[in-house]
Amino acid sequence: MKINFECDKCQNFNQFHIKNKCEIVCNNCEKKYGTIDLNWNYNNECIFCKKTHFYKRKNFNQLIGLFIIILGGCLAVGFHSKYGPLSYIFLGVFSLLDFILFKFTDFMGVCYSCSAEYYQIDGVDALENFEHHNLEMYQN
């Protein structure tokens, strides 16, 4: 189990690797957030804010995705004088690569209220997709 959380006290970005039941403490300011059990799942309260509202998101770097598409586009343009319209195959192949990368990327669960990210926990597929009006409920 892995958890990413930006400390609300000192803004330090923490990455926790949970292997045993343990107390979650900010790596920087040592603020204690609570204890997490290995059988924690999305039906439990968020460790940090005690809410139980999560959405699923792909752990996919959109910058890399964009980079792949741009690279494909550049190759297509670069080889256009040599191969003509055939060069657009580059774009097709790179788009497909992008799609495959996205498809095989795992979901993570994100807390609506405090944006803590929970990785490698069963049941993530059952979570809802991100809804903006749900996020607004927690922003005040």
Which residue ranges make up the site for Zn ion (CB under 5 A)?
7, 9-10, 12, 26, 28-29, 31, 46, 48-49, 111, 113-114, 116
CB of 66 to Zn ion, least distance (A): 29
Report the candidate in 124, 112, 137, 129 with the shortest Cα–Cα distance to residue 52: 112
Nearer to Zn ion, 9 or 21 (CB): 9
The distance of closest approach from Cβ of residue 12 to Zn ion in the complex, given in angstroms and rounded to an integer, is 5
* Radius of gyration of the chain from its Cα atoms, rounded to whole angstroms: 20
Query: CA 25, CA 16: separation in Å to the nearest integer?
Result: 9
Nearer to Zn ion, 5 or 94 (CB): 5
Nearer to Zn ion, 18 or 116 (CB): 116
